Amino acid sequence: MTLATLSDVLQPALRDGYAVAGLVTLGWEDMRAFVAAAEEVGCPVILQAGPGCRAHTPLPVLGTMFRHLAENASVPVVAHLDHGYEFDECQEALDNGFSSLMFDGSRKPLQQNIDETARIAEMAHAAGISCEGEVGFVGYDQGEASAGTNPDEAAKFARETGVDAMAVSVGNLHLQQDRTGGLDEDRIDAIAAVTKGVPLVIHGGSGVPHDQRARLARDTSICKFNIGTELRMAFGQALRTAVAKDADRFDRVQILSDVEAPIAKATKLVLDNLYTK
């Protein structure tokens, strides 16, 4: 299976009533487990390199890893830059084989966000890849507060940027470790009504209850849920178990080989929940 763009996987999701998971990667073990889970379910998957991942591993290395996995997978795999903040960073990702760019100008004034996102979208489309933007700021659990997406601003943003997907702030939070909250479905409906044909994206999907994820994937234009914290927590638990299994074991490859199966199992639960064709 060849590398896919974001539009390649989100437009069928919009048409057929399901969502694709944007999985936040940090290393080879979780990337490989994510693709293995997607192959088991038989659904597309989006591998995402966020700021934390990029601080640990350079973009040229990540692009090669993502493309290698995509080219050897039996399902569509998107190589996605998550939360690119600068034009040059997005250009570097494009130059290193990424098939999708997410430019995040959500902290900026609306018109500046539109102008800068439109420039990234134009660059991406000229290269035959996709672009995601964000309007309304998605905050952080125990951190920066959100600024909810205004439907009128969302309509203007979608129309003037030409993005292939649009991240919105509708009660979601990054880094949320529980699912006691939920999304504002009235706001989602209002945004969807004025941005028809544009797949919507939920960042901070780990904090959304599973039943709401599944229902919104089926019944609305939300076509992508970003999942990071939920699977990082699964990784942490699996790693603790692997280390405790043998106090004399020190080889990282041996230790990490015990981590992939539990991550793949947790990932499969996420994918099964969203992919309900």
Output the tens digit of pLDDT for each of the chain's 277 residues.
689 999 999 999 999 999 999 999 999 999 999 999 999 999 999 999 999 999 999 999 999 999 999 999 999 999 999 999 999 999 999 999 999 999 999 999 999 999 999 999 999 999 999 999 999 988 777 766 666 899 999 999 999 999 999 999 997 877 677 777 689 899 999 999 999 999 999 998 888 999 999 999 999 999 999 999 999 999 999 999 999 988 888 899 999 999 999 999 999 999 999 997 6
- CATH number of the domain to which 184 belongs: 3.20.20.70
pTM over 0.85: yes
How many H-runs (helices) and E-runs (strands) does the chain carry?
A: 12, 9
Say if CB 263 and CB 30 are below 8 A apart.
yes
Output the pLDDT for position 175. 65
Question: CA-based Rg of the chain, rounded to a whole angstrom?
Answer: 18
Output the pLDDT for position 145. 66
Say if CB 4 and CB 99 are below 8 A apart.
yes
Output the pLDDT for position 177. 75
Cβ neighbours of 257 (radius 10 Å): 12
Which residue of the set 82, 184, 258, 272 is catalytic?
82
User: Kindly report the CA angle at 94 between 92 and 96, in degrees rounded to 5?
Assistant: 70
Residue type, 88: D
Write the CA distances from 70 to 31, 85, 97, 161, 167, integer angstroms.
Answer: 10, 25, 11, 28, 24
Please classify residue 216 by burial: count the beta carbons closer than 10 Å to its beta carbon, then call 0-12 exposed, 13-18 middle and 19+ buried.
buried
Output the pLDDT for position 137. 83
Decide if 82 is catalytic: yes
- How far is it, in rounded angstroms, from Cα 211 to Cα 257? 32
The parent domain of residue 15 ranges over: 3-274
> If residue 78 lies in a helix (H) or strand (E), which one and from where to where?
strand 77-84
Of 103, 106, 146, 72, residue with least CA distance to 6: 103
Give the distance, in angstroms, between the CA of residue 219 and the centroid of all CA atoms in the same chain.
20
Cβ neighbours of 166 (radius 10 Å): 24
Say if CB 103 and CB 83 are below 8 A apart.
no
- How far is it, in rounded angstroms, from Cα 237 to Cα 104? 31
Burial 56-88 (b: 16+ CB within 10 A, else e): ebebeebbebbbebbeebebbbbbbbbbbeeee
Residues with Cβ within 8 Å of residue 83, at least 6 apart in sequence:
50, 51, 102, 104
- How far is it, in rounded angstroms, from Cα 237 to Cα 235? 6
Which residue(s) pair with 222 in the sheet?
200
User: How many domains does the chain contain in total?
Assistant: 1
Residues with Cβ within 8 Å of residue 180, at least 6 apart in sequence:
none
